[in-house]
């Protein structure tokens, strides 16, 4: 399944494991400066670490969009948490 907003596109698929796995792409074409790419990846990793137990068995791939470099760390974290909530909600409705 796929969910998107102005900052990220998140792809998710159930896996056969009891824990979630994370992958992400922050392309140089989308975020020019290395310091911004590293900051974005650091914030994504931290948000994943804090929610890892609640995500269950998902494989998640996060793809950054063009204007994510202009966002603050709090805005990026809110966006990621919103995506994970939407993914869990979609998964719950699909399994019914």
Q: What is the dihedral of CA 74, 1, 37, 49, to 10 degrees?
A: 60
Selection from 39, 78, 40 nearest residue 62 by Cα: 40
What are the structural domains of the chain?
Answer: 2-88 (3.30.230.10)
Neighbours of 43 (CB within 10 A): 20
* Cα torsion angle, 37, 14, 77, 9, sign: positive
List, in sequence order, the alpha helices (H) in 1-96.
Answer: 34-55, 73-95
pLDDT in tens, the chain (96 residues): 899 999 999 999 888 888 889 999 999 999 999 999 999 999 999 999 988 877 878 889 999 999 899 999 999 999 999 998 888 888 777 654
CA gap 38, 33 in Å, rounded: 9
Please state the pTM of the whole predicted model: 0.88
Is residue 31 a contact partner of residue 40, using CB atoms and an 8 Å limit? yes
Tokens 């140089």 appear where?
28
């Amino acid at each position: 399944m796929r969910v998107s907003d102005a900052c990220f596109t998140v792809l998710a698929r159930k896996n056969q494991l009891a824990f979630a796995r994370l992958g992400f792409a922050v392309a140089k074409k989308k975020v020019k400066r290395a310091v911004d790419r590293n900051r974005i990846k650091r914030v994504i990793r931290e948000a994943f670490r804090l929610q890892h137990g609640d995500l269950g068995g998902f494989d998640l791939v996060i793809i950054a969009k063009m204007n994510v470099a202009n966002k603050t760390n709090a805005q990026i974290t809110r966006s990621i948490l919103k995506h994970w909530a939407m993914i869990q909600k979609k998964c719950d409705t699909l399994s019914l």
